[in-house]
């Protein structure tokens, strides 16, 4: 993201954006971590943690599953060795992804999710798998944003329902949906 290409402006109290355009894939199996390391990727140190890598996210889901997401213009994923059926199985990922952000983010989350997200989760890089408005999600708290921010991924078939459930609550909290250009002006990164 190129936040410095825009003048940073005031962020709404709470906002939401569709950031599904990033490339996603994954590997699972007993050799998944080994194969990723052979490809030069850093591996999150523990299960259910994540790290930033070259403009993207690498999440370790459980002991032997990896989730990769990176910007469309980045090509690091295609440079990796090919996963195979002998211990590192490729996982097709087409998750929808939303970014929720703003000073009133935790008020929003209290209304739509039973899991208690906290700002301190950004430093521990915890991956949370829970439900939000009855829809299964995977989520991370982002530390690099100027305001609290949460990235979440869900099955794309449920994304419209999730969006419709969250949008009115963001508006009640004096916010609402924003586009990618607005995220840049607010200085809020996608990851």
Q: Tens digit of pLDDT for each residue in 127-153?
A: 999 999 999 999 999 877 788 999 999
Rounded mean pLDDT of the chain? 87
Cα–Cα distance measured from residue 153 to residue 136, given in angstroms and rounded to the nearest whole number: 9
pLDDT tens-digit map of 96-139: 999 999 999 999 999 999 999 887 777 889 999 999 999 999 99
When pLDDT is averaged across residues 11-24 and rounded to a whole number, the result is 93
What is the band of 94 on the pLDDT scale with cuts at 50, 70, 90? Answer: very high
pTM: 0.88
Fold of 23-91: Alpha-Beta Plaits (3.30.70)
What is the band of 8 on the pLDDT scale with cuts at 50, 70, 90? Answer: low
What is the band of 2 on the pLDDT scale with cuts at 50, 70, 90? Answer: very low
Residue 83 is predicted with a pLDDT of 64
Residue 1 is predicted with a pLDDT of 41
When pLDDT is averaged across residues 61-88 and rounded to a whole number, the result is 78
Q: Would you call 89 helix, strand, or coil by DSSP?
A: strand
Q: 35 — phi, psi (to 5°)?
A: -65, -40
Residue 5 is predicted with a pLDDT of 46
Where does the chain hold its CATH 3.30.70 domain(s)?
Answer: 23-91
Residue 6 is predicted with a pLDDT of 43
Where does the chain hold its CATH 3.30.1360.120 domain(s)?
Answer: 14-20+95-186
In the chain, what is the straight-line distance between the N-terminal and C-terminal CA atoms, in Å? 9
Which CATH number describes the domain made up of 14-20+95-186? 3.30.1360.120
Burial of residue 175, with CB atoms counted within 10 A of its CB: 0-12 exposed, 13-18 middle, 19 or more buried:
buried
Give all strands (DSSP E) within the chain, no chain letters.
15-18, 23-28, 49-53, 56-60, 65-70, 89-91, 96-101, 128-132, 135-142, 149-154, 176-177
What is the band of 23 on the pLDDT scale with cuts at 50, 70, 90? Answer: confident
């Amino acid at each position: 993201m190129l936040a410095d290409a825009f003048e940073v402006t005031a962020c709404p109290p709470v906002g939401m954006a569709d950031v599904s355009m990033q490339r996603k894939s994954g590997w699972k199996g007993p050799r998944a971590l080994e194969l990723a390391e052979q490809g030069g990727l850093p591996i999150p140190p523990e299960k259910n943690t994540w790290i930033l890598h070259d403009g993207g996210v690498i999440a370790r889901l459980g002991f032997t599953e990896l989730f990769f997401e990176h910007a469309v213009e980045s090509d690091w994923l295609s440079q990796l060795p090919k996963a195979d059926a002998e211990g590192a199985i490729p996982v097709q990922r087409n998750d929808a992804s939303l970014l929720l952000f703003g000073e009133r983010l935790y008020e929003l989350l209290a209304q739509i999710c039973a899991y208690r997200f906290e700002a301190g989760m950004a430093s521990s890089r915890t991956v949370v798998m829970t439900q939000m408005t009855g829809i299964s999600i995977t989520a991370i708290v982002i530390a690099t944003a100027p305001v609290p921010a949460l990235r979440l991924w869900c099955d794309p078939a449920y994304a419209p329902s999730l969006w419709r459930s969250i949008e009115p609550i963001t508006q009640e909290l004096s916010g609402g949906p924003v586009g990618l250009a607005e995220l840049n002006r607010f200085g809020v990164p996608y990851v």
